[in-house]
Amino acid sequence: MPPNTSRRPFKKSTATIDMTPLMDLTFMLLIIFVITVPALEYSTEVDTNPPKLDGEVSTEEAVKPLVIQFDKNGVITIDGNIVALHDLTNYLNNMRQSREKLTVMIRADGSRPYSEVIDILRAARHANVDSASLITQAEDQQLR
């Protein structure tokens, strides 16, 4: 009997795993780690400890600004003490020695000439105060 020519020769099938999705996943993870590791390395630390409530006053609260009152009569008052303009620099120098940081806030009456307020600021600058500010009053927000 002649051999059957219609039959194909039997091929042994081999099982293979497609590596393309696995390589895609590997490269995607590599890219993610390359991007996130430097971001984690340079991130800033956040202090999550709550403040202590033991009644102690912090140094920032202990250093209160020195308020200079300048009334409509031209009288300069600091903590209830009347100080002349020519003695203001010496007074602030004495206060500077007793304080670690001297901050001055000036509350002046609006009817006084601005040049007198500048003289107070100049005296504060000569006394080497750390910060000098003007206290202002908010405008009325009435509709007209």
Reported as a pLDDT band with limits 50, 70 and 90, residue 144 is: very low
pLDDT of amino acid 47: 64
Residue with the larger pLDDT of the pair 117 and 140: 117
Q: If you search the block for the tokens 């099982």, which residue do you land on?
A: 15
- Collapsed DSSP state (helix, strand, coil) of residue 84: coil
Write down all domains in the chain, each with its CATH number in brackets: 59-134 (3.30.420.270)
In this structure, the chain runs to a length of 144
In what side-by-side order are the strands of the sheet with 66-70? 81-83, 76-78, 66-70, 103-108, 131-134
- What pLDDT digit, counting tens, does each position of 17-76 carry? 889 999 999 999 999 989 888 877 776 666 667 666 665 545 554 468 888 898 888 889
pLDDT of amino acid 32: 92
